[in-house]
């Protein structure tokens, strides 16, 4: 039987501490990875932009506040409202636009390297960080 070399865990990550370590809105921080996925946290408020992830779903968990996600689907446009403690997955290929009416904290699960503005998108406003996630500092 072959042995596999495991990496040592760094230790637990406090989501409260991770979120306290930055102030930027719409600029996620990578708190850990699971297989080939990033677990990211972000502070959000106001509008993001319409965008599409062609090859991956996007998972949202609202840690605090409230998140609205506009969806453009074959049947038409609709908005999903996620209060604190709610989860929602935007299916791959679905055009969507997150919006937070109040300061909100979210957790995202996406494949490593996934852009916050997707594969296709509207013009990126100055307050949105077009990134694949930032390391915690």
Whether the model pTM is above 0.75: yes
Evaluate whether residue 36 is within a structural domain: yes
For the chain, how many structural domains are there in total? 1
Evaluate whether residue 133 is within a structural domain: no
The pLDDT profile of the chain, 137 residues, written as one tens digit per residue, is 444 444 455 789 999 999 999 999 999 999 999 999 999 999 999 999 999 999 999 999 999 999 999 999 999 999 999 999 999 999 999 999 999 999 999 999 999 999 898 888 888 888 898 888 999 87
CATH of the domain at 109: 2.60.120.10
Evaluate whether residue 132 is within a structural domain: no
Which residue intervals of the chain are DSSP H helices? 15-20
Compute the distance between CA of residue 86 and CA of residue 36 in angstroms, rounded to an integer: 24
Evaluate whether residue 6 is within a structural domain: no
Q: How many CB atoms are closer than 10 A to CB 127?
A: 14
Range of the domain at 93: 23-122
Compute the distance between CA of residue 103 and CA of residue 100 in angstroms, rounded to an integer: 7
Evaluate whether residue 29 is within a structural domain: yes
Evaluate whether residue 128 is within a structural domain: no
């Amino acid at each position: 039987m072959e042995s596999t070399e495991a990496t040592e865990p760094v230790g637990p990550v406090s989501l409260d501490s991770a979120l306290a370590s930055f102030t930027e809105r719409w600029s996620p921080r990578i708190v850990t990875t699971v297989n080939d996925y990033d677990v990211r946290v972000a502070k959000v408020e106001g509008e993001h932009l319409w965008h599409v992830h062609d090859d991956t779903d996007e998972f949202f968990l609202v840690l605090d506040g409230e998140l609205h996600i506009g969806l453009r689907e074959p049947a038409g446009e609709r908005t999903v409202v996620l209060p604190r403690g709610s989860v929602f997955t935007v299916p791959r290929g679905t055009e969507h636009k997150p919006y937070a009416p109040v300061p909100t904290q979210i957790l995202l699960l996406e494949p490593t390297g996934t852009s916050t503005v997707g594969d296709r998108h509207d013009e990126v406003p100055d307050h949105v960080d077009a990134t694949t996630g930032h390391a915690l500092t």
